[in-house]
Amino acid sequence: MTDKMDGYSMDIELDAREKLRAIFPECFVEGKLDLVKLESLCGEFPTIDENDRERYEFRWKGKTDALKLAQQRSLGCLRPAKSESVEWDTTKNVYIEGDNLEVLKLLQRSYFRKVKMIYIDPPYNTGNDFVYEDDFSDNIGNYKKITSQGTTSNPETAGRYHTNWLNMMYPRLRLAKNLLRDDGVIFISIDDNEVHNLRKLCDEVFGEENFISELIWQRAFSPKNDARYISNSHDYVLMYARSLTEFTIGRLERTEEANARYSNPDNDPRGVWMSSDISVKTYNAEYDYPITLPSGRIVEPPSGRCWRQPKEAFLQNVADNRIWFGPDGDGTPRIKRFLSDLKFDGMAPTSIMLHKDVGHSQEGSQEVTKLLNAGVFDGPKPVRLLRRLLTLANTSENDIILDFFSGSATTAHAVMQLNAEDGGNRRFIMVQLPELLDEKSEAYKSGYRTICDIGKTRIFKAGIKIKSEQDGQIKLGEEEKLPLDIGYRVFKLDTSNLKVWDNTPTSDEEEAFQRMMNMLDVLKPDRSEEDVVYEVLLKLGQELTEDVVPLDINGKVGVYAIHKDVLFIVCLARGVTAEDAEKMAEYMPGRIIFADECFSNSVGKANVYHTLKNHGITIKVL
């Protein structure tokens, strides 16, 4: 009569198979995909050459299990923590405490192809930093265990040094890709230890055709004299698009240094310009002709080259004073490029990011120390670096930016800073494992207990600072900007709020009876109604910042509308009647989700079902 609600996270593979089945139904035989038939329909036919069976493939021990881990659906939930949040009712930003593998699974349905930019700064696998040890059988239980015991390391003597790191990264990147929009982009910070493996891993996950750049960040401004061989002064930032054909790179603002290359020696009324060579290597006889200079001397293209324009176009540019022959009219012709023609396009970014432009690692540490009055985090990235990446990603108003190794939350800081500068309303989602801090650390002595404590405090204090600076810069007559969002909703990863039936075989009648009694109320006793509502909200594919509004249904408590326009209703009230159902129907929701305990008996349940069915409303039961 009523459908039971599936408590699992989105089944990504099932969704992909159904889409494939809709396009190529003939490729499915007895429910299984026939790859040979699929290749044939795509115009790729098998050959008889045995050598064709050998092909390049990136493999390591545990890769298949890592893929299965990404495909395994989660039964977890994200519990709201209002007391730790800032401006809960108005903010569109989110901070999530939890293992990012499980969190990424839980975000699939709500944020599928909605994220414009992802930035992550994962463990670099130096041998001492934390490596997430996933558990195929119970990853949430494993998460609770490791967050209560502290971090582990991945020493080179472990025997599976690179393998462990790859098995940690692979499932997370596969899940992250699903969240990117078609015009989305991901940036990943990394150093020499794993950049070669990460490049191959990203080629597999995102497609080598979507590789954009291996950016070099100059993180150090002075050499280390105690270096054994070479003082390493840089890290890398890998940049991949979700779909390169859909992505447009953001261009950089022109600098005074770049503009200084322009001058106006001939007092051209169009302003300053710089000249460039008009010959090219790609030879074309039509573009090979003699040019008579104003001095009367005749010049030809250099040997093996030709001019970049046909003669008619060249003469047109001469008439338009766009060709420079030197101050005495006897120089090899060059074409004039006016700054006024370029200023709206900005500058093309380069693959090297110098510390003078984007900051260095010491600057990142100084920023955190200044905000939190202590050196509480090792190696945070500078805000200017993230600010540059936000520009390269071409982010704009209302875009979602995700960081699922958020650390000290530099990404959130940069998002708020950019919004303050250009009036945007970009939103961030930060995800961080609540790693316990060493009791001997400066952070612990300053009152912080987990990395999440540092991240949340940093966002809060950075937001206040940015807003204060913005308020002080408002000028008379200036167009009013949108209110700056410096808040965030905090959620914490946990097991489902709903009890799961224990299917373990038992011959003990008393134990079997107790199991049945426990399931009379499927909601766990230590969970709040709000916990349940947000679990349902995610399962329905709604964003975590969606409005949740209590409804008055004939005086009953425990009825909530999801979205201000009442897209759904979640009912946890007891003793729901047909009259209550009529009242709910007045809000015209598309769907109503009930707890099984809402109904006094099967007759009452049937009455509610038929009442809502008559209004065309779908019913689900937890």
Mean pLDDT lowest for which of 25-39, 88-102, 413-427? 25-39
Residue-level pLDDT at 151: 55
Tell me what the mean pLDDT of segment 20-44 comes to: 77
Each residue's pLDDT tens digit, 222-264:
888 778 889 999 999 999 999 999 999 999 988 888 888 899 9
- The lowest-confidence range among 6-10, 167-171, 451-455, 540-544 is 6-10
Task: Specify whether the CB–CB gap between 402 and 117 falls below 8 A.
Answer: yes
Q: Residue 147 pLDDT more than 80?
A: no
pLDDT at 125 over 80: no
User: What DSSP line would sit under 171-221, residue for residue?
Assistant: HHHHHHHHHEEEEEEEEEEE-TTTHHHHHHHHIIIIIGGGEEEEEEEE--S
pLDDT digits (tens, 9 = 90+) for 441-499: 999 999 999 999 999 999 999 999 999 998 877 655 566 667 899 999 999 999 999 88
Q: Which residues share a beta bridge with 569?
A: 561, 592
Task: Give the Cα separation of 606 and 598 in Å (integer).
Answer: 12
pLDDT recorded at residue 402: 99
Band of pLDDT at residue 119, cut at 50, 70 and 90: very high
In angstroms, the Cα distances linking 56 to 53, 204, 478, 502, 586 are 10, 11, 59, 46, 61
Q: What whole-number percentage of the chain has pLDDT above 90?
A: 68
Question: In terms of Cα–Cα distance, which of 105, 114, 43 is closest to 78?
Answer: 105
Where residue 212 falls among pLDDT bands split at 50, 70, 90?
Answer: very high
3-state secondary structure of 258: helix
Parse the chain into domains and list their residue ranges: 3-49, 77-252+348-492, 256-342, 503-621
Q: Looking at residue 223, what is its pLDDT?
A: 83
Average pLDDT along the chain: 88
pLDDT of residue 516 exceeding 60 = no
Closest by Cα among 480, 458, 372 to 411:
458
Query: Residue 27 — pLDDT band, cuts 50, 70, 90?
Result: confident
- d(Cα 221, Cα 234) in Å, to the nearest integer? 9
pLDDT of 371: 94
190 phi, psi to nearest 5 deg? -160, 160
Give the CA distances from residue 544 to residues 350, 453, 524, in Å, rounded to whole numbers and listed in that order: 37, 21, 21
What pLDDT, in 10s, does the model give residues 378-408? 889 999 999 999 999 999 989 999 999 999 9
pLDDT at 325: 97
d(CA 275, CA 616) in angstroms, rounded, equals: 70
**56 or 123, higher pLDDT:** 123
Note whether 484 and 416 are within 8 A (CB): yes
pLDDT of residue 480: 64
More confident residue, 49 or 382: 382
pLDDT in tens, 345-369: 788 899 999 999 999 999 999 999 9
Q: How many helices (H) and strands (E) does the chain have?
A: 20, 25
Lowest mean pLDDT among 34-43, 136-145, 146-155: 146-155
C-alpha 529/C-alpha 504 separation (Å) is 29
Of the candidate ranges 102-111, 458-467, 470-479, 557-566, the one whose mean pLDDT is the lowest: 470-479
Q: What is the pLDDT of residue 518?
A: 59
Question: Which of 197-206, 413-422, 477-486 is the least confident region?
Answer: 477-486
Residue 523: pLDDT band (50, 70, 90) is confident
Other Cβ atoms less than 10 A from the Cβ of 391: the count is 17
pLDDT band at 128 (very low <50, low <70, confident <90, very high): low
Whether 551 has a pLDDT exceeding 70, the answer reads: yes
- Mean pLDDT, rounded, for 543-556: 95
pLDDT over 70 percentage in the chain? 87
In angstroms, rounded to a whole number, what is the distance separating the alpha carbons of residues 438 and 491? 24
Mean pLDDT value across residues 603-609:
94
CA 53 to centroid of chain Cα atoms: 36
Residue 58 has pLDDT above 80, yes or no: yes
- Model confidence pLDDT, tens digit, residues 289-311: 999 999 999 999 999 999 999 99
If pLDDT is split at 50, 70 and 90, which confidence band does 517 have? Answer: low
Domain at 77-252+348-492: CATH code: 3.40.50.150
What is the value of pTM for the model shown? 0.85
User: Is residue 81 scored above 90 in pLDDT?
Assistant: yes
Mean pLDDT of 338-349: 79
pLDDT for the residue 34: 80
Q: Which residue has the tokens 């460039």?
A: 276
pLDDT band for position 506 (cuts 50, 70, 90)? low
**Per-residue pLDDT at 208:** 93
The rounded distance, in Å, linking the Cα atoms of 26 and 410 is 50
- Please give the full DSSP string across 400-422, using - where no structure is assigned: EEEESS-TTTHHHHHHHHHHHHH
CA distance 461 to 409: 11
Q: 41: pLDDT confidence band, cut at 50, 70 and 90?
A: low
Quote the pLDDT of residue 21: 80
Phi, psi of 204 (to 5 degrees): -75, -45
